[in-house]
């Protein structure tokens, strides 16, 4: 798994050596690149062992991959949701407010990315959120509980006993990528 992680990230890490873009562009590029890495990881696990193995891989690897990716890029990046599966994905107050605002959008309509400059503890940060929408393939793990296979449900119950991330339909807002970029003083 670790070798796969580095092989998947190598082209993205090498691209990080280019001149440093503006904070907004850094945040958007990080979300784009991390999304690709996580989709590749998920795709590999689906091909190797199906949805139950993909849930196992997500629970074991997705957080680590995301944290390492953020360190490599020099920013704070994570996935958040009001209906989180992993407690580490619980949004902070700022993120929760944006997610609740996005949830008011018409069903199936993807909200626009959100960017704001904030000051916290005397330091300025760019905060960026990009919505994550539910697609058909997401339903095998995030759809209505009665429609999730017993094998996947069993893994979810073991890995995420307080899971809130089911009951979605295609086009629903699943959550967001959230990025914090420290700005120069």
- pLDDT number for residue 106: 86
Contact 1, 61 (CB under 8 A): yes
Q: Which of 39-48, 61-70, 119-128 has the lowest mean pLDDT?
A: 39-48
Instruction: For 70-122, write each residue's pLDDT tens digit.
Output: 999 999 999 999 999 999 999 999 999 999 999 998 877 899 999 999 999 99
- pLDDT number for residue 3: 47
Q: Backbone phi, then psi, for 158, in 5-degree steps?
A: -75, -45
């Amino acid at each position: 798994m670790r070798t796969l992680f580095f092989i998947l990230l190598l082209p993205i890490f090498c691209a990080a050596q280019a001149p440093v873009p503006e904070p907004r562009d850094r945040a958007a590029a990080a979300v784009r690149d991390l999304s690709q890495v996580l989709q590749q990881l998920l795709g590999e696990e689906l091909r190797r062992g199906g949805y139950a193995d993909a849930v196992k891989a997500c629970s074991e690897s997705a957080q680590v991959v995301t944290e390492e990716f953020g360190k490599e890029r020099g920013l704070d990046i994570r996935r958040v949701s009001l209906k989180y599966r992993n407690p580490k994905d619980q949004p902070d107050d700022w993120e929760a407010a944006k997610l609740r605002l996005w949830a008011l959008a018409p069903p199936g309509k993807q909200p626009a990315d959100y960017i704001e400059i904030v000051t916290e503890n005397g330091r300025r940060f760019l905060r960026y959120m990009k919505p994550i929408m539910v697609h058909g393939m997401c339903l095998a793990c995030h759809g209505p509980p009665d429609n999730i296979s017993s094998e996947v449900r069993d893994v979810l119950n073991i890995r995420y006993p307080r899971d809130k991330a089911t009951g979605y339909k295609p086009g629903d807002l699943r959550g967001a990528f959230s990025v914090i970029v420290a700005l120069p003083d």
